[in-house]
Structure formats: C-alpha cells, structure tokens
C-alpha cells in the first residue's frame, strides 16, 4: 500500500508500483483532502490518515501489507505499523518526514498562509525546484510539468490544513513500537530529508536498513523510479 505525502496523490507512485505489480498486489490511493478523494475542509492529522489506511485495508479484505510512505506519508506508515503490528509486515519510508525540524516550522506556517491568500499557483512555481533533482529538472520537462500540475490540482484550503497537520506530526515517538522490518530510502539531492538525517533516523528502528538513491531529490519516485523500485523489490523479496 503506497501512501503519498503533502500535496501529492497516489499516482505519483505509478512508475514504481507498475514494476512491482507482477509480484505483489499494489494499492495506490489519494488520502482524504487530496486528488480524487473527498475534500472535506476539516482538521487533518497523521493519526486520522493512519486510520484511513487501516480502514481501506479492511474494506479491501487486506489482512497484512507492506506500507510505503513518502515524506509526510512516512509518518502515516510509521503510525500504522505502531498501532497495527499484525497488519504491517514491513514499512518502506521514502524521504521520510516523521517530524518537522525546528528550522522548518516557520516556513510551513508561512506556506499555509500563502496558499490561503494566493492559491496554489506561486507554490507550483517553486516546489519542483526542491522536490526534483537537478538532472530531472534540466532534462525531463514532462516530469517537471507533471509535478507542477499535481501541486496546482490541490484545493488551497485542504492543502493549508494538511500543512497544519504536518506542523503537529511527530511519529518519531512511535518508532520504538514498530516491530516489522523497515527500509529508509533517501535521495542524494533531497533538501527536505537530507540523506545523513535519514540514515540517522534508520538507526532509531529496532530492525532497519538504509538505501541511498543517486541523482534523486525528494520526489525520488519520479526522479529515479527504476532505482526506487529495485530497492523496494530487494527489500520485500527478503522480508515478506
């Protein structure tokens, strides 16, 4: 089960999931407030999204699964694993943001205020610069355009509410309760979840491994889908 991050949609994983679907059942979805899902303007939280993932598993008759979480979605995956150890057989965290660093809190508050005041347009112009690695931005305009369109499609108020959920997120306190194997994956050009920080985070799990993807930014599943897929396949083939 693939869990996207702030401003994302489930289909951001499509290039990765397509390659895994021959061996595993793959589930991509848009959490509430995003993409094609309902967009209620209410308070959101990592805990609510974790219950949403659990409810989706129940609805689909899924009794055990691996959860792949990107960015803020990594906090959701950790929460599912901590709350439902019988359900989560493994987790893979891509560019994980389990808790905002102190230095980023003001920027996320400002971002929420900006999209409420000006909509998603200004954000769509700047976010790709931090999310996509330089080689992608320079040589793959289609991916750049796809990422920008994904950001523009967000409802500004829901996006602001999701930013506020990120401000409150702290899944690091749940890491000691995670019993399943974990894989933490970092992009070598990711300014949001720098690879030294991700490697340190991996050390907080009882059983975890770390993988570094070359020429990949925060949206590594778009920058280097084949390399991300290879890392996930090797991990799942071993632990599932």
Question: 230: Cβ–Cβ under 8 A, 6 or more apart, which residues?
Answer: none
pLDDT digits 0-9 by tens, 199-213? 999 999 999 999 999
- ∠ CA 145-148-149 to the nearest 5 degrees? 85
Count the domains in the chain. 1
> Where does the pLDDT of residue 224 fall: very low under 50, low under 70, confident under 90, or very high at 90 and above?
very high
First to last CA, the chain: 14
- Beta-bridge partner residues of 28: 2
Q: State the CATH number of the domain containing residue 211.
A: 3.40.50.1820
pLDDT digits 0-9 by tens, 44-59? 999 999 999 999 999 9
How many CA within 13 A on the CB side of residue 64?
7
Q: Is 228 helix (H, G, I), strand (E, B) or coil?
A: helix
pLDDT digits 0-9 by tens, 128-171? 999 999 999 999 999 999 999 999 999 999 999 999 999 999 99
The parent domain of residue 30 ranges over 2-239
Rounded distance, CA 158 to CA 34, Å? 8
């Amino acid at each position: 089960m693939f869990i996207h991050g702030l401003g994302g949609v489930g289909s951001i994983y499509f290039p990765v999931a397509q390659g895994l679907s021959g061996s595993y059942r793959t589930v991509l979805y848009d959490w509430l407030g995003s993409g094609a899902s309902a967009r209620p303007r209410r308070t959101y939280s990592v805990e609510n999204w974790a219950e949403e993932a659990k409810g989706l598993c129940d609805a689909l008759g899924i009794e055990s699964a691996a959860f792949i979480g990107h960015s803020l979605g990594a906090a959701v995956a950790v929460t599912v694993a901590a709350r439902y150890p019988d359900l989560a057989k493994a987790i893979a965290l891509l560019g994980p943001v389990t808790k905002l660093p102190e230095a980023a809190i003001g920027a996320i508050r400002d971002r929420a205020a900006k999209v409420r005041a000006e909509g998603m347009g200004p954000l769509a112009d700047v976010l790709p610069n931090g999310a996509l690695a330089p080689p992608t931005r320079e040589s793959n305009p289609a991916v750049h355009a796809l990422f920008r369109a994904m950001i523009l499609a967000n409802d500004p108020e829901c996006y602001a509410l999701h930013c506020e959920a990120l401000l409150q997120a702290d899944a690091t306190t749940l890491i000691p309760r995670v019993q399943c194997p974990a894989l933490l994956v970092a992009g070598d050009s990711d300014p949001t979840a720098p690879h030294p920080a991700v490697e340190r985070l991996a050390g907080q799990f009882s059983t975890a491994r770390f993988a570094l993807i070359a020429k990949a930014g925060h949206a590594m599943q778009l920058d280097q889908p084949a390399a991300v897929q290879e890392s996930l396949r090797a991990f799942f083939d071993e632990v599932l």
